[in-house]
């Protein structure tokens, strides 16, 4: 409404002014804390203010119109199909572009129009089918269904409900079928969720490739055979990929077709619940790799064109398509899309008892350019302004708010390559509310070094910079390699290091060739320095801990539908005659030592040395002294290393030990005494023998454990 003539409208504070800053600080409860930690964000205080106000407004609107986010996020309790207490069936869909909606299936002989839905406001449709006279089940467990949509152009479309809880592909069918999942004896969880771990050590896993056999492995197989390995290796968290149903197996689970359905190619929903429950019984936290950044463009068995229009859940026109991924992009500002996605989050938390999420494709969500063609130099202007999709960012804030309100011990991880400031800061500070972000620059650095530089040319300062370059108080998950580095077209670190010799010289009976020796020693060193220096959590992709050879490739036309590279050869590490066991042993003991000493949950390390000529890196974290000698052939006698602690030190982890495939050049009975001699900015120092290509951890034994 215009101001009356003669009256003055209060002017908004000028952008960047002290008044604007004061207004932002007044609106965002803990923004002052964020700006105190990073004063360079002050010019962008109004951006944080706008984001926080948008989040608060939607949360308030949800409260006003839906009775709160708790109720709003239970969409799966009314949408889809539901058996009523009286034996009838209640069905509900959101199809704003539809002319008519019907339910058909085995239960009515596939008559497409015998059960029409009634049109409600806001594009919603509902149907109630009364019970049979004999009270028998209207739509039995295991029977097939379809939603029939008549479009405004007169087309008759057969669709799977976006809320379908189980879909499966039968025989040689191309498309998935929607199947009623209503078992007589649903799985009942026996074990409580583990407490949130202080140090997160994540085993990134894919159920389908978890067997050495050339086939798709099952939930049962993973539960019985892989979970015990994960527990033995000292990981306290698993991140399950490719669980949300995806029609195309080779998409690695990133082209979702049914968001509420657990993938049927590995087994039943009850078997997935058993997997999660068994992990909980072992004290293992279970995260879901959730894909809300985009969706498959399938329409026959996906969300696309559900109501006959190109919009519905997605943006209409070019904005609704991701050019690089050839997939559909959600309209995050749409009320029903928010209901769908937030309910999806809650579904996986409540129905399957997941303990949190790794959000895929966050960079694509955060920016209208989706990160395509962007280098992200670190200039703060890249993270604010018109290029940011604040609707998507607000959705992520709402999702984190919901997750942490429902289950305060939940963990959320953002896959963001851009490094957006405050993404992992509390929402009350104007941040995104994530617990962690993936430190995505680290694996790229290791691949670059191995591919492009001789060992003697590795830059110690650059390695340390890459491992420590993270925002203060925003936690990172460090990793040397994940599934991304193992995909076809690339290779695992072990294969980059040892390549073809892995086929011939990994036997303990074969000569310890220079290539295999170098590969085994560097594989251990790279993993330990990443684990100890790179973040506040650690991630490993299944099999890479023991140097899994080759690469990862799913069955597809281009490889004659072969499963040869879509499997994990765990038997390699069980064979006592193969050297894979050495890498496996090291990974296990590294994790177990972290469990005991807790360096991931300790403050960032103090790096006392990064010597280019000697190729030595030394640092302290969690009361431990870490020493790395990356030199390919130089060993050092009586090498002085600085420490903050006086007293006696002992070796607690030595990559050169026999059980790790090392050369046993160090005597573990040796006591190292620090003296009050300042060195590299530390008040004390000690003398150590450091062989070439070795990683050591020393612990002060005078300190109480």
Instruction: Indicate the helix (H) or strand (E) that contains 501.
Output: helix 501-504
Cβ 51 vs Cβ 390: under 8 Å? yes
Distant-in-sequence, close-in-space partners of 375: CB < 8 Å, separation ≥ 6? none
Q: Which pair of structure tokens corresponds to residue 300?
A: 């026959």
* Nearest by Cα to 563 from 309, 312, 217: 217
Residue 63 CA to residue 77 CA, distance in Å, equals 18
Q: Which long-range contacts (CB under 8 A, 24 or more apart) does 379-388 make?
A: 380/40, 380/41, 380/43, 380/44, 380/421, 382/418, 383/44, 383/418, 383/419, 383/420, 383/421, 384/44, 384/47, 385/47, 388/47
What is the CB-side half-sphere exposure of residue 225 using CA atoms within 13 A?
A: 19
DSSP annotation of 295 reads: B
Q: How many CB atoms lie within 10 A of CB 453?
A: 12
Handedness of CA 219, 223, 225, 230 (dihedral sign): positive
Dihedral of the alpha carbons of 552, 554, 557, 560, in degrees to the nearest 10: 80
| The token pair that represents 277 in the structure block | 């429950």
- List of residues 6+ apart from 660 with CB closer than 8 A: 524, 582, 583, 585, 586, 589, 654
- Cα–Cα–Cα angle for 669, 673, 674, nearest 5°? 145
- What is the rounded end-to-end Cα distance, in angstroms, of the chain? 68
Q: Are 394 and 53 in contact (CB under 8 A)?
A: no
Both tokens of 465, joined, read: 């910079």
Joined together, the tokens standing for residue 129 give 């089918």
Catalytic residues: 360, 415
Pairing of strands 616-621, 321-322: unpaired
Cα(554)–Cα(226) distance, rounded to whole angstroms? 20
Q: What is the DSSP letter of 16?
A: T
| 3-state DSSP assignment of residue 53 | helix
- How would you write 350-415 as a 3-class SS string? HCCCCCEEEECCHHHHHECCCCCCCCCCCCHHHHCCCCECHHHHHHHHHHHHHHHHHCCCCEEEEC
What span, in angstroms and rounded, lies between the C-alpha atoms of 510 and 517? 12
C-alpha closest to that of 434 among 462, 456, 401: 401
- Of 485, 509, 655, the C-alpha closest to 582 is 655
Sort 503 into a burial class: Cβ within 10 Å, 0-12 / 13-18 / 19+: exposed
List alpha helices for 111-252, DSSP H: 219-221, 227-233
**Residues 308 and 152 sit within 8 Å (Cβ to Cβ):** yes
| Burial readout 407-431 (b: 16 or more C-beta within 10 A, e: otherwise) | beebbbbbbbbbbbbbbbbbbebbb
């Amino acid at each position: 409404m215009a101001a009356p003539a003669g009256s003055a409208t209060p002017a908004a504070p000028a952008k960047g002014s002290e008044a604007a800053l004061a207004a932002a600080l007044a609106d965002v409860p803990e923004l002052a804390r964020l700006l105190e930690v990073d004063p360079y964000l002050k010019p962008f205080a109004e951006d944080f203010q706008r984001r926080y106000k948008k989040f608060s407004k939607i949360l308030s609107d949800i409260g006003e119109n839906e009775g709160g986010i708790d109720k709003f996020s239970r969409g799966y309790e009314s949408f889809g199909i539901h058996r009523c207490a009286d034996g009838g069936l209640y069905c509900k869909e959101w199809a704003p572009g539809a002319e008519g909606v019907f339910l058909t299936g085995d239960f009515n002989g596939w008559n497409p129009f015998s059960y029409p839905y009634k049109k409600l406001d806001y594009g919603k449709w509902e149907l109630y089918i009364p019970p049979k006279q004999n009270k028998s089940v209207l739509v039995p467990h295991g029977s097939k269904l379809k939603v029939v949509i008549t479009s405004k152009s007169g087309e008759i479309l057969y669709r799977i409900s976006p809320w379908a809880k189980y879909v499966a592909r039968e025989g040689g069918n191309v498309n998935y079928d929607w199947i009623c999942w209503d078992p007589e004896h649903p799985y009942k969880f026996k074990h409580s969720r583990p407490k949130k771990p202080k140090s997160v050590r994540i085993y990134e896993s894919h159920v389908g490739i978890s067997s050495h056999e050339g086939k798709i492995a099952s939930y049962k197989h993973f539960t019985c055979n892989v979970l015990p390995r994960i527990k033995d290796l000292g990981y306290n968290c698993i991140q399950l990929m490719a669980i949300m149903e995806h029609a195309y197996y080779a998409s690695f689970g990133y082209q979702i077709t049914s968001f509420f359905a657990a993938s049927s190619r590995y087994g039943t929903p009850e078997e997935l619940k058993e997997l999660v429950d068994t992990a909980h019984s072992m004290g293992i936290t279970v995260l879901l790799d959730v894909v809300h950044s985009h969706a498959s463009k399938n329409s026959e068995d996906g969300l696309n064109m559900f109501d006959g229009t190109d919009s519905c859940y997605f943006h209409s026109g070019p904005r609704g398509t991701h050019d690089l991924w050839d997939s559909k992009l959600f309209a995050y500002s749409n009320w029903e899309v928010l209901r769908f996605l937030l309910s999806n989050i809650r579904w996986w938390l409540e129905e399957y008892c997941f303990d949190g999420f790794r959000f895929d494709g966050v960079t694509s969500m955060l920016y209208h350019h989706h990160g395509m063609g962007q280098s992200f130099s670190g200039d703060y202007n890249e993270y604010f302004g018109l290029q940011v999709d604040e609707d998507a960012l607000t959705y992520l804030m709402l999702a984190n708010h919901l997750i942490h309100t429902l289950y305060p011990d939940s963990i959320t991880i953002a896959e963001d390559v851009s490094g957006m400031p405050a993404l992992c800061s509390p929402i009350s500070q104007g941040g995104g509310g994530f617990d962690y972000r993936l430190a995505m620059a680290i694996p790229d650095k290791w691949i670059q070094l191995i591919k492009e530089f001789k060992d003697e040319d590795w830059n110690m300062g650059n390695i340390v910079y890459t491992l420590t370059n993270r925002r203060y108080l925003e936690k990172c998950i460090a990793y040397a390699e994940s599934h991304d580095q193992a995909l076809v077209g690339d290779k695992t670190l072990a294969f980059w290091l040892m390549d073809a010799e892995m086929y011939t010289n990994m036997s303990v009976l074969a000569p310890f060739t220079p290539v295999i020796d170098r590969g085994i020693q560097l594989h251990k060193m790279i993993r330990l320095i990443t684990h100890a220096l790179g973040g506040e959590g650690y991630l490993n992709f299944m099999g890479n801990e023991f140097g899994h050879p080759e690469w990862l490739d799913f069955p597809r036309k281009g490889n004659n539908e072969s499963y040869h590279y879509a499997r994990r050869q765990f038997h390699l590490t069980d064979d006592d005659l193969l050297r894979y066991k050495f890498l496996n042993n090291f990974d296990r003991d590294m994790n177990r030592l972290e469990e005991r000493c807790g360096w991931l949950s300790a403050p960032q390390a103090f790096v006392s040395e990064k010597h280019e000529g000697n190729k030595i890196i030394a640092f302290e974290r969690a009361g431990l002294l870490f020493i790395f000698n990356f030199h390919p052939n130089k060993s050092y006698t009586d090498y002085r290393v600085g420490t903050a602690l006086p007293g006696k030190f002992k070796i607690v982890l030595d990559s050169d030990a026999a059980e790790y495939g090392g050369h046993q050049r160090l005597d573990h009975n040796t006591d190292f005494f620090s003296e009050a001699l300042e060195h590299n900015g530390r008040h004390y120092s000690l003398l150590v023998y450091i062989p070439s290509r070795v990683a050591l951890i020393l612990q002060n034994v005078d300190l109480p454990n």
